[in-house]
């Protein structure tokens, strides 16, 4: 079933730049692959919307594959995050596929899907790089990285510099913002006076626990 869905997705990709993630594209994918219409609609009840979701998840898988193959042990952690975001963008064959996807997921009925996909990409980066936090840190890390990733995608879509050099410079600056935020949190924890003022709110936030991971991912690193 997974292979059949991938086949439908591959057939759809050639049409998406012209017709978007639309019913027209889904019908064309069915016709080109010869997949029974009932089976295709069973695999993708929402038609091209489900193919768009599958395409995003394919990019996530390709990013993880590159991360697992890359030698990242001897570089700074912030550079590992940069590499992950860059690998995710380089998994895209055609910017128009992403541009059309953003148009789809900006629609009110599909906006929750878009937000979830963005969050899942950020979660996958942190998890693959070994994050084991299970309190408010779990949320703040993913929230800040989601912001970095989304802003970088928007910049990348309009970037015409050679080798997307301008995008990678933009990404470096945004990651530095994340690192400064992490340093700020560490500074708060080390400031006894400030911690006294924030004791109540922090205790409440500290009781937040992240969802249990669906997959066993290797590695761990401190909060």
Task: Write out pLDDT tens, residues 8-49.
Answer: 999 999 999 999 999 999 999 999 999 999 999 999 999 999
Residue 47, C-beta contacts closer than 8 angstroms, at least 6 positions apart: 23, 26, 41
Chain-centre distance for alpha carbon 211: 17
Residue 82's nearest CA partner among 188, 181, 218, 179 is 179
pLDDT of residue 214: 47
Q: Is the confidence at residue 194, as pLDDT, over 50? A: no
Cα gap 154→77, rounded to integer Å: 24
Q: Is the confidence at residue 127, as pLDDT, over 60? A: yes
Q: Are 172 and 82 in contact (CB under 8 A)?
A: yes
pLDDT digits (tens, 9 = 90+) for 150-178: 999 999 999 999 999 999 999 999 988 77
Cα gap 141→126, rounded to integer Å: 8
Q: Is the confidence at residue 219, as pLDDT, over 50? A: no
Q: Residue ranges per domain, the chain?
A: 56-206
Q: Which CATH class is domain 56-206?
A: mainly alpha
Span of 24-38, 42-56, 138-152, 180-194 with lowest mean pLDDT:
180-194
Q: Which residue has the higher pLDDT, 56 or 192?
A: 56
Q: Are 51 and 10 in contact (CB under 8 A)?
A: no
């Amino acid at each position: 079933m997974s292979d059949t869905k991938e086949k439908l997705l591959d057939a759809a990709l050639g049409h998406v730049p012209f017709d978007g993630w639309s019913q027209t594209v889904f019908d064309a994918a069915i016709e080109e692959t010869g997949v029974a219409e009932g089976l295709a609609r069973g695999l993708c009840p929402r038609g091209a919307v489900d193919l768009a979701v599958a395409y995003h998840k394919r990019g996530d898988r390709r990013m993880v594959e590159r991360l697992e193959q890359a030698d990242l042990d001897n570089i700074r952690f912030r550079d590992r995050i940069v590499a992950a975001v860059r690998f995710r963008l380089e998994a895209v064959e055609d910017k128009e596929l992403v541009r059309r996807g953003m148009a789809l997921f900006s629609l009110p009925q599909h906006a929750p899907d878009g937000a979830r996909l963005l969050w899942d990409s950020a979660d996958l980066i942190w998890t693959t790089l070994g994050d084991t936090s299970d309190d408010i840190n779990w949320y703040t890390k993913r929230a800040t990285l989601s912001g970095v990733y989304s802003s970088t995608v928007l910049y990348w879509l309009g970037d015409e510099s050679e080798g997307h050099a301008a995008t990678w410079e933009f990404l470096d600056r945004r990651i530095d913002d994340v690192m400064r935020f992490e340093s700020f949190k560490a500074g708060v924890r080390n400031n006894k006076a400030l911690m006294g003022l924030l004791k109540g709110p922090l205790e409440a936030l500290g009781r937040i626990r992240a969802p249990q991971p669906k997959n066993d991912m290797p590695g761990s690193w401190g909060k």
